[in-house]
Amino acid sequence: MRTEQIALSPLAPGANLSLTVHRFGEAGARPRIYVQAALHADEIPGMIAAHHLRERLIALEAEGRIKGEIVLVPSANPIGLAQKVLGEPVGRFDLSNGINFNRGYPYLVPQVAKRIEGKLTKDGEANLHLIREALRAELVVCKTNNPADVLKKTLLGLAIDADIVLDMHCDSEAVVHLYTHTRSAEEFAPLSALLGSHAFLLADESGDDPFDEACSRPWAELADRFPDHPIPFGCHSTTLEFRGEGDVTHDLARADAAALVDYLILRGAIAGDHKTLPQALCAPTPLAASEPVPSPAYGIVVFKAEVGDRVKAGDVIAEIVDPLTGVVAPACAPTDGVMFARILLRFATEGQRLAKVAGTKVQRTGKLLGA
């Protein structure tokens, strides 16, 4: 393992930040795998999974089994990790401007298209290298305006030429689920099965440029822009949601790390025998078919359904109890599917999203992710 510290923009004079990066295998080897945890810095399940993954990779490297290059960022957001308000961590949003740390990554497609126009050939592998060079070159000239922008540019620079990107998160209370590009469904189907995912959500564009799409979307869109030239899908990227905020145990993290290692063996980054895949718990479904469950009123939230439950449209997901009048209002599932996540706080305002149900019927357009 080779460890480096990448300097970031200071938050203030003397308040310096850096990003810790662990590298395994030979630099430049393929497949190149990029893994990061806790981009939302208060989402700890991914961070403890990264801890156990690092220990596994150290042992595997000592055995000479790392065949690709694996880059691991075990704590991807030192800005958010340092943020607290009245003792409570705030790692999802940048307190300087309220922007989500997993939104607003550079959209490089128009500039990269200009760089490669007239240079593409009939050789898909040559086009792959050309586009990776153009992506790196375009990212270098991207302007940054604040420390969070510098962090985002740095993280994307580490990931943008990887073959596979794994971005580890969690929800408030949830079962394992993942998000990826529609054209990456086949790539990540084995990982979904290995992790025991309960929802496998697909979109070409979910809105607001999250990290995983900054890595993957260029390949789909450039292929569509230049249909007369073979352009492989050069970076399969996924957001992995490792259950809920409180699901931080060594047993869960060891199992998650083991599943990631099994997947990397399957993909040739680690030498070893392929594990027989378990039966998948879910099939891929469109993110646009995932429906929020809004609260019908202000009040105390008493859930009637657990995360992972299969529900039918109209089923009561929760009861909202008015603490002053005692009036009880039901919050109902808007579609058939799996309730894969719900809020942690048991008090809601009217219209607030209480839970998410992964359905199969596309009903939404526009921005598909929450705040």
Question: Would you write out the chain's pLDDT as a tens digit for each of its 371 residues?
Answer: 999 999 999 988 888 999 999 999 999 999 999 999 999 999 999 999 999 999 999 999 999 999 999 999 999 999 999 999 999 999 999 999 999 999 999 999 999 999 999 999 999 999 999 999 999 999 999 999 999 999 999 999 999 999 999 999 999 999 999 999 999 999 999 999 999 999 999 999 999 999 999 999 999 999 999 999 999 999 999 999 999 999 999 999 999 999 999 999 999 999 999 889 999 999 999 999 999 999 999 999 999 999 999 999 999 999 999 999 999 999 999 999 999 999 999 999 999 999 999 999 998 988 888 87
Q: How far is CA 118 from its chain centroid?
A: 34
What is the DSSP track for 211-254?
Answer: HHHHHHHHHHHHHHH-TTS------EEEEEEEEETT---HHHHH
291 in helix, strand or coil?
strand
Q: How many whole angstroms separate alpha carbon 154 and alpha carbon 157?
A: 5
Q: CA 290, CA 205: separation in Å to the nearest integer?
A: 14
User: Can you read off the two tokens belonging to residue 68?
Assistant: 């690709």
Token code pair at residue 294: 């809004």
Q: What's the CATH number for 286-358? A: 2.40.50.100
Partners of 320 in the beta sheet?
A: 301, 329
d(Cα 315, Cα 323) in Å, to the nearest integer? 23
In contact, 240 and 198? CB cutoff 8 Å: no
Per-residue confidence (pLDDT) for residue 368, from 0 to 100: 84
* pLDDT for the residue numbered 343: 98
Residue 108 CB-density burial (10 A; 0-12 exposed, 13-18 middle, 19+ buried): buried
What's domain 2-282's superfamily in CATH? Zn peptidases (3.40.630.10)
pTM over 0.85: yes
**H runs (alpha helix) in the chain:** 45-62, 78-81, 109-116, 124-140, 147-159, 185-195, 211-225, 250-266
In the chain, domain spans: 2-282, 286-358
User: Given this chain, do its domains 2-282 and 286-358 carry the same CATH topology?
Assistant: no
Backbone φ, ψ for residue 320 (5° rounding): -110, 115
Within 10 angstroms of residue 295's Cβ, the number of other Cβ atoms is 23
